[in-house]
Structure 1
Amino acid sequence: MSATADHAEERANPLARLGFQPGQVVQELGYDDDCDEDFRDAIAEITGNELVDEDYDEDVADVVILWYRDGDGDLVDSLVDALTTLTDGGTVWLLTPKTGRDGYVEPSEIGEAAPTAGLTGTTTTAVAKDWSGTRLVAPKTARSGGRK
């Protein structure tokens, strides 16, 4: 596929730039009435799978999306819980309300909580009208099977 086609696909489906791919199992934590249904539907469409919830224990998840708002409890604990079913090399997308929205989470809180949970933030981007997403991964030094 050409670079132009890749860019056209990303514009047509913004989730492609977030790394969601066909066949992935995506676990969703922290769902509530304020979550963005279009975003959820788009994930299911691109992966070809319905999102699984916190009771999922069949196998491992490739991606975890964690809806988190200020007041939802301890962020470190929530991030550690997100790692429970995550496959090696998987991604956690921490979804928080945008600035000025109810439940907004300060970036400094995310910056402090992620390393405590064993994660590193790589990208923060708008994922929906009212939500921002921070992509979190395990540091390369902690991953098994690293290159030599």
Structure 2
Amino acid sequence: MSATADHAEKSLAERLGFKSGQVVQEIGYDETDADQELRDQVEETIGQALVDEDYDDVADAVLLWFRDDDGDLTDSLVDNLQYLEEGGHIVLLTPKTGREGYVEASEISEAVKTAGLTSSKSVSAGKDWTGSRLATPKTARR
């Protein structure tokens, strides 16, 4: 099987790093603009419902919906790290270019770097959203 064929079989949720059995905390959800199809894919992939912002334990991953008027992106990323299991990741979802709430790529890049994270290549995460998988450096967390 070719790498391309293997890639085509993976859902968007799997390509963003979600796996069966993970606890995924969703932050910044807004029913008026979030991509319900992506949310459903994530829940299907992990095999359970997403937990919300009030979840008070560590999560394996965070699904972070972030818009330009949501405050400071660096602060949001740093805040979400404290509730993330070691080796976990954040999937940052921002509106695509030209959509309401669009966040400049330079702002995202600076915030990711300042928060001490590394970013994967951005992918289309639905009609209106772009997603990036953000990971902590392997040696930084204990």
TM-score (norm 1): 0.87
Give 1:1-148 correspondences, 5 Å limit: 6-10=6-10, 13-32=11-30, 33-57=32-56, 59-144=57-142
Contact 2:12–2:38 (Cα < 8 Å) also in 1? no
Offset at residue 3 of structure 1 (A): 5.1
Q: Measured at CA, do residues 3 and 118 of structure 1 come closer, stay the same or move farther in structure 2, by a change above 3 Å? A: same
Offset at residue 109 of structure 1 (A): 0.2
Looking at structure 2, the residues matched to 15 and 135 of structure 1 have their Cα atoms a distance apart, in angstroms, of 11
Structure 2 unaligned spans of 5+: none
Offset at residue 123 of structure 1 (A): 2.3
Identity %: 61
Looking at structure 1, the residues matched to 104 and 35 of structure 2 have their Cα atoms a distance apart, in angstroms, of 20
Kindly report structure 1 stretches of 4+ aligned residues shifted beyond 3 Å: 2-8
Question: Which moves more between the two structures, 40-49 or 113-122?
Answer: 113-122
Q: Measured at CA, do residues 46 and 102 of structure 1 come closer, stay the same or move farther in structure 2, by a change above 3 Å? A: same
Structure 1 unaligned spans of 5+: none
Contact 2:16–2:91 (Cα < 8 Å) also in 1? no
Looking at structure 2, the residues matched to 45 and 25 of structure 1 have their Cα atoms a distance apart, in angstroms, of 12
Contact 1:27–1:64 (Cα < 8 Å) also in 2? yes
Q: Measured at CA, do residues 73 and 55 of structure 1 come closer, stay the same or move farther in structure 2, by a change above 3 Å? A: same
Offset at residue 19 of structure 1 (A): 1.7
Looking at structure 1, the residues matched to 139 and 82 of structure 2 have their Cα atoms a distance apart, in angstroms, of 19
Looking at structure 2, the residues matched to 80 and 39 of structure 1 have their Cα atoms a distance apart, in angstroms, of 24
Contact 2:17–2:133 (Cα < 8 Å) also in 1? no
Contact 1:9–1:16 (Cα < 8 Å) also in 2? no
Q: Which amino acid aligns with 1:56?
A: Y
Offset at residue 8 of structure 1 (A): 4.9
Looking at structure 1, the residues matched to 90 and 118 of structure 2 have their Cα atoms a distance apart, in angstroms, of 10
CA RMSD of aligned residues (A): 1.6
Offset at residue 7 of structure 1 (A): 3.6
Offset at residue 72 of structure 1 (A): 0.7
Structure possessing the higher relative contact order (Cα contacts under 8 Å, 6 or more residues apart): 2
State the number of aligned residues: 140
Q: Which amino acid aligns with 2:39?
A: R
Looking at structure 2, the residues matched to 55 and 39 of structure 1 have their Cα atoms a distance apart, in angstroms, of 21
Q: Which has the larger radius of gyration?
A: 1
